[in-house]
Amino acid sequence: MDERGFELTMELQQGMQFLVDFGGQDLPPLLMDEPEPVGEDEGPNATRLLAAAVGNCLSASALFCFRKARVTVHGMRTEVRTRLVRNESGRVRVGAIDVDIHPEVSAEDWPRLRRCIDVFRDFCIVSQSVKQGIDINVEVKPPAGLGATLPDSGLTGAQA
């Protein structure tokens, strides 16, 4: 894993649709869109991708630990429920993300998962970062020749 980070780009296509390019990776672009009536619901929006990222990271972390414990996992299903709430200003926010992981393992292997169940959460980059709060720095850059960048409002982590 590259601890220096990574970059991706997003290009407006139409309406509220953005095409995400994962930057040099051999990955297909991803179309994101907002649900109706704001968008056309042609792809996942950022809230759904956040929930998917949390669920995927926790699932992958658990699966890695299960395999390291030499437990054969025949399948796995993860259910992610996201609760939206309104903050004190009336704006919609993610209030909670609940994740249920259902590994398919034999009955004799189930007790061997105890240690994994105790530790895998701590190795998930996404869920632990979201839980702790992430600094977000935003700049709105003008087209060439139009002048200065509009600075970030100074909000970070859970405030942004």
Q: Kindly report, residue by residue over 84-143, the tens digit of the pLDDT.
A: 999 999 999 999 999 999 999 999 999 989 889 989 999 999 999 999 999 988 888 888
Going from N- to C-terminal start, the domains of the chain cover 7-44, 45-133
DSSP 137: -
Give 35's Cβ-side CA count (13 Å radius): 4
pLDDT at residue 2, rounded to an integer: 60
CATH class of 45-133: alpha beta
Q: How far apart are CA 88 and CA 41, in angstroms?
A: 28
pTM: 0.85
pLDDT at residue 143, rounded to an integer: 87
Q: How far apart are CA 125 and CA 77, in angstroms?
A: 20
Give 51's Cβ-side CA count (13 Å radius): 19
Question: Residue 153 — pLDDT band, cuts 50, 70, 90?
Answer: low
| Nearby residues of 150 by Cβ (< 8 Å), 6 or more positions away | 139, 140, 142
